[in-house]
Amino acid sequence: MSGIVALEKWPVLGRHERAAGWLQVWCDLGRAPRMIDAYARGLAEYLEVCEREDVNSLVVTCAHIALYVRELAERPSRRGANVFSIDSGAGLANATVRQRMVPVRLFYDFLMEEGLRESNPVGRGRYTPGRQRGGQQRGLVPRLTKLPWIPSEQQWLEILQVAREEPVRNRLMLALAYDAALRREELCSLRTDDLDPAHRTLRVRAETTKNRLERVVPYSASTGVLMSAYLAHRATISRARGPLFLSESRRKHGQRLTLWTWAKVVRRIALAAGVPRFATHTTRHLCLTDLARMGWELHTSATFAGHRNTDSTLQYIHLSGRDLADKLTRGMEHIHVSRIQMLTAGESESAGGSR
């Protein structure tokens, strides 16, 4: 998304010269269109609140930012009530509020660099020597860390039952999304030359990943069968190299399948299976959790997932309960042995005395 398109979509940005300039900087730096759109939307929402409250966005204080956070916390979610704080039960989700604050914070960083402000009114977590708990100071909006949701075995079977009736393209995409723990954009951006059917691997190009880390991941023999069937089917649509997954609609026949189309496919499957929480990212969560359950080493799982930091991978180990289960088993074994020894101590002494 270019700066001009963003200004057309969010007119409030055009009424604030500094905001438009900040957005153009990000566009000139070549940031991803989806990131630009998210930043433009977040800043536009903030500036609209400033206009409504008759506040000059260039001279706001931390108190004004706190009022904006409160407005977000009380804003009804389109998906219904969500939990912003432990006891609220309403408002936007914690992660959504934090996401909305990112462009606001970056905007004031920009104003500081331009010499228009001396400080940033949006607090952020930072390391402070001497503080307890590792010296970490909490940011303006505290992070609520939740484990990813994954379906139960029965829910997964319901999803698979519905998916069996889907065209081969959709079945292959669902299989690859789970098999290789692919993000939605990574899956939809696959190209024919990313495949290595001989070794059953595929290349996830750096420009399609979230953190710009290229990786090569394997897929199973079962998915390989689906791959062969789909490639034969794809040849009836187009024999040209390029995007692997093609649209078969009349309007976009033969063009690359978009993220939104795939999201609609997954949503339709989820509703038909009676598992509305199932989404395009669920297969990735499920795969990484299953790998943790199987005992994969942490760094191996991080490399497979394309995580730059193993902290992201740790949540799936926590979700699997593997570490807790192992510790519980070891602890119970020790307790079990000690209890049995106590029960049999008298018998051992009696046996020694009889000799």
Per-residue pLDDT in tens (0 to 9) along the chain, 355 residues: 555 666 788 889 889 989 989 988 888 888 778 788 888 999 999 999 999 989 999 999 888 888 888 888 777 655 544 433 333 445 677 778 888 888 999 999 999 999 999 989 887 654 444 444 444 445 566 655 667 889 999 999 999 999 999 999 999 999 999 999 999 999 999 999 999 999 999 999 999 988 888 999 999 999 999 999 999 999 999 999 999 999 999 889 999 999 999 999 999 999 999 999 999 999 999 999 999 888 888 899 999 999 988 888 888 877 777 656 666 676 667 676 666 667 666 555 555 554 4
* Domains assigned to the chain: 3-123 (no CATH), 153-320 (1.10.443.10)
13 Cβ partners below 8 Å, 6+ apart? 6, 7, 19, 20, 23, 40, 43, 44, 47
The reported pTM is 0.66
Q: Which long-range contacts (CB under 8 A, 24 or more apart) does 255-264 make?
A: 256/188, 257/169, 257/188, 258/188, 259/184, 259/185, 259/188, 262/173, 262/184, 262/187, 262/188, 263/184
First to last CA, the chain: 90
Q: How far, in Å, CA of 203 to CA of 205, rounded? A: 6
Tokens linked to 167:
């065209």
The helix/strand/coil state of 175 is: helix
The helix/strand/coil state of 191 is: strand
Tokens linked to 300:
């191996």
Beta bridge partners of 137: 126
Beta bridge partners of 196: 201
